[in-house]
Structure 1
């Protein structure tokens, strides 16, 4: 059996189409189509049902994909591990990052990476939405609490949590009253469940400001206009010097930042280098570490 044709078949099967597979791999669509057709001819079976717009695995194609994909991945990872010792990161690296991390830390991260790997042309764009990495040509995406995605793999490299903070001049309301609030995005009257030093509590909030970024929310809270839910890494220094006060930890609001990429197969040296650089920048991945990195 032709291993190259088998690898191309698995590439198309994983991405669900010749066009997507071609964009992900940088190989011509016609070459992938021909390789799959050659494999079908060699095995004398149809591997895909080809519709006008859709490409669907046949029963035989699904069985072949399930039994060979892991084996080919292992072969590729072994070869990549052997070659990585001599491969120097170079070329274009496109990264999508969320707004808050971009505003607070990505400039410093990008500069440090560029100094260490001058042969890599790093491009970072700010996207809070879940970009389609294959369709839009990204090598790596940093996402906050991403939903499970079978087409992506990666690792969590930072952790944070939401807290409710306010100016010292703003008194926390009694149980039957509401506090003025600053929220990200549109918001109506709401309640925030928090854990305090004395136990769980509920804070009623009447949003009087709706802003589009956490930095704007923090600045408004510093000005004393209302309370807000913010990442602890963003306000830890304000809490330490008394600029803001802590009303409680938001229940069920732990934050994990993941670095994701489309596949383990043939992971490029530049993506591996960027993942390692993130690990070096945040070896423990704690909120305190992120706060210290932002403050430096």
Structure 2
């Protein structure tokens, strides 16, 4: 059986959410889709999907295979594009959306290099933290920091970032010590409004997954503001490593309870469709993949 097609079918099932939608997208029968997924699971010797009458969900093995299969499919596309003599030079307006903090900290410094490498591309960059509709709003691509297994978009995983529980040394000196997750209830937290779990923070520690209900003293929809308040001693916050890695290195912030790990998110470059990907978007995908192969916040 075609292993690349197996991966494509499996990833499409995950992206679309149902076997029926995947069959429509790939112009195949539902029975064929089911055979490909079942054959893949049998060949790997692992269950990749939980199937119920209402929904599909990924197993842990399925989630790992999904991310790696998406990368393989993206690299196959890139390899074909690289050797195609008919591939036109990237040109035209390239509309890109990205989260504010990530866009300023990690994309801003590298755009000049992209412009030098592709002088016929005109960049149109939009930064905001809301989830834009690429098709409706006319974006060619977007950088997203999230869990993407249920997205209908396609793209490539560039890197990962973990959420770090942290506070300033000054704050920790002036408040009760935090030696357990339960101690967090005695502290005020600086909450990021767009954090999907709200005030319920979950961690994986020595005894498995644990959750704690936190109390916010300030809420804000901008990560840079949350970081600034935390640096100034305003409270404890849960911040992505791409924002606070340098603060942790210098000691401006201290990681609290490092034995408890919060969620890990992927950094993705996404676009509406893999079919007939414009050269300007392909150029962006390859450029960002190379630049974030070893992200600075992961060193």
1:241 to 250, 253, 257: 250
1:128 is the counterpart of 2:90: no
Q: Deviations over 1:254-295 (max 9, x none)?
A: 010111112222212111111111022112357425xxxxxx
2:101 — aligned with what? 100
Q: How far did residue 202 of structure 1 move?
A: 6.2
| Structure 2 Cα separation of the partners of residues 89 and 186 of structure 1 | 35
**1:270-289 maps to which residues of 2 (within 5 A)?**
270-285=280-295, 287-288=297-298
Q: How far did residue 201 of structure 1 move?
A: 6.9
Secondary structure at 1:110's aligned position in 2? helix
- Consecutive unaligned residues in structure 2, runs of 5 or more: 1-23, 30-76
Q: How far did residue 229 of structure 1 move?
A: 0.2
| Structure 1 Cα separation of the partners of residues 248 and 207 of structure 2 | 19
Name which one, 1 or 2, has greater alpha-carbon Rg: 1
| Structure 2 Cα separation of the partners of residues 237 and 190 of structure 1 | 26
**1:7-156 maps to which residues of 2 (within 5 A)?**
65-66=27-28, 83=84, 87-145=88-146, 146=148, 148-150=150-152, 152-156=153-157
1:206 to 194, 209, 215: 215
1:22 — aligned with what? none
Is this contact kept in 1: 2:142–2:269, CA < 8 A? yes
| Structure 1 Cα separation of the partners of residues 131 and 209 of structure 2 | 33
2:50 — aligned with what? none
**1:254-293 maps to which residues of 2 (within 5 A)?**
254-285=264-295, 287-288=297-298
| Structure 1 Cα separation of the partners of residues 244 and 99 of structure 2 | 18
Secondary structure at 2:150's aligned position in 1? coil
Change (3 A) 1:64 1:86: closer
1:179 — aligned with what? 187
| Structure 2 Cα separation of the partners of residues 108 and 98 of structure 1 | 15
| Structure 2 Cα separation of the partners of residues 261 and 285 of structure 1 | 21
Q: Deviations over 1:28-73 (max 9, x none)?
A: xxxxxxxxxxxxxxxxxxxxxxxxxxxxxxxxxx699438xxxxxx
1:74 — aligned with what? none
Q: Deviations over 1:191-213 (max 9, x none)?
A: 53445799977666321111221
Is this contact kept in 2: 1:158–1:287, CA < 8 A? no
Secondary structure at 1:66's aligned position in 2? coil
Change (3 A) 1:119 1:186: closer
Q: How far did residue 103 of structure 1 move?
A: 2.3
| Structure 1 Cα separation of the partners of residues 163 and 26 of structure 2 | 46
Change (3 A) 1:79 1:257: closer
Secondary structure at 1:131's aligned position in 2? coil
- Consecutive unaligned residues in structure 1, runs of 5 or more: 1-61, 68-76, 290-296
TM-score (norm 2): 0.62
Change (3 A) 1:178 1:211: same
Is this contact kept in 2: 1:141–1:260, CA < 8 A? yes
| Structure 2 Cα separation of the partners of residues 233 and 63 of structure 1 | 35
1:52 — aligned with what? none
| Structure 1 Cα separation of the partners of residues 194 and 289 of structure 2 | 35
Change (3 A) 1:210 1:149: closer
